[in-house]
Amino acid sequence: MSDDAARVAAEAAPTAPVGAPSGATIPEAPRSLWSDAWLTLRQNRAAMTAAVILGLLVLLVLAGPSLSDYRYDKPNWDEIAVPPSLAGGLAGGHLFGTDSLGRDMFTRTLMGGRMSLLVGIVSTLVSLVIGIAWGATAGFLGGRVDRVMMRIVDILYALPFMFLVILLMVLFGRNILLIFVAIGAINWLDMARIVRGQTLGLKQREFIEAARVSGVRPGRIILKHIVPNLLGVVVIYVTLTIPQVILVESFLSFLGLGVQEPMTSWGVMVSDGALDMENAPWMLVFPAVFLAITLFCFNYLGDGLRDALDPRDRSGR
């Protein structure tokens, strides 16, 4: 090594503090919660594999329909229930076959994925907004307000979840926006309880007491101090709730109360495929496989995030 290179390397190397014993090592700077969680998540092969597959699936669902020359809602009476074929490639053949109306199953499966993922994400966001606001308010204010708010949650827990969703769909019509609101508005109860429990512990922390003494209003404390410290729990809840909401939408669509024609979803396609399972099994297989893969990926990713963000595991690392 030349003298100049040796001098540059010596300047770049970290030096021990003044007065430290010779040969002393510099302690590693503590990692943040998110960087530590990311390192832990990267070591979880199942979660990382699920994340990669889920990312590829989302890209395929978003960009896939443009790879096909067929519209998802255009019937073709000359090609009814055609089996899957690779002839002609993506632009010319029916990779997943056609359905009972001659519509291309490849395009419909990917369009159905768009709708199923959209329902899952939007409904989960609705449940997050309601659940976080309800649980954080109840836990922070405490006392009589907490008791009243949580008794309302207990009463709603006693009501049949699916019955309420079906009732809302029957009373207000089968509109796609109502599906988002109905599923999300009923699915917030678990989040409210989780957030309340976390808030009860957070409000005893020193930084919350300091904010109170400084005269910060309760609403601002909840928004600026309580909610940001709940992000770990929220991330885990999102990854575990999205597949649950997708299943609910699939069940509603199977009953004929979900997404309506000409739009489609994986639940609608599974329902249609079940009717023609003997004559055209591919109508059931492809949307069911895509639905199963998506649910598995979200569940594995949620388990990995739960392990990575668990403070009890982090304390021992």
181-223 pLDDT per residue, tens: 777 777 888 888 888 988 888 888 888 888 888 888 888 888 8
User: Which is more confidently placed, 247 or 148?
Assistant: 148
* pLDDT mean over 103-118: 88
Say if residue 153's pLDDT is above 50. yes
pLDDT at 8: 40
Q: What is the mean pLDDT of the chain?
A: 78
Q: Which two tokens stand for residue 87?
A: 């002839």
Over 90: is that where the pLDDT of 53 sits?
yes
Residue 98, classed as helix, strand or coil, is strand
- pLDDT for the residue numbered 148: 93
Q: Domains in the chain and their CATH numbers?
A: 111-312 (1.10.3720.10)
CA distance 226 to 223: 6
Residues whose CB falls within 8 Å of the CB of residue 173, separated by 6 or more in sequence, listed in order: none
Say if residue 163's pLDDT is above 70.
Answer: yes
Nearest to 61 by CA among 73, 47, 72: 72
Copy the structure tokens of residue 143: 């006392």
Looking at residue 263, what DSSP letter applies?
S
The pTM (predicted TM-score) of the whole model is 0.74
Q: What is the pLDDT of residues 211-259, one digit of tens each?
A: 888 888 888 888 888 887 887 778 878 888 888 888 888 777 777 777 7
Which of 267, 306, 296, 298 has its CA nearest to residue 284? Answer: 267
Residue 25 has pLDDT above 60, yes or no: no
Instruction: Answer with the residue of higher pLDDT: 129 or 312.
Output: 129
d(CA 169, CA 163): 10
Which amino acid is located at 171 in the chain?
L
CB neighbourhood size of 316 (10 A): 5
DSSP, residue by residue, 189-230: HHHHHHHHHHHHHHTTSHHHHHHHHTT--HHHHIIIIIGGGG
Report CA-CA distances (Å) from 79 to 105, 112, 247. 12, 20, 31
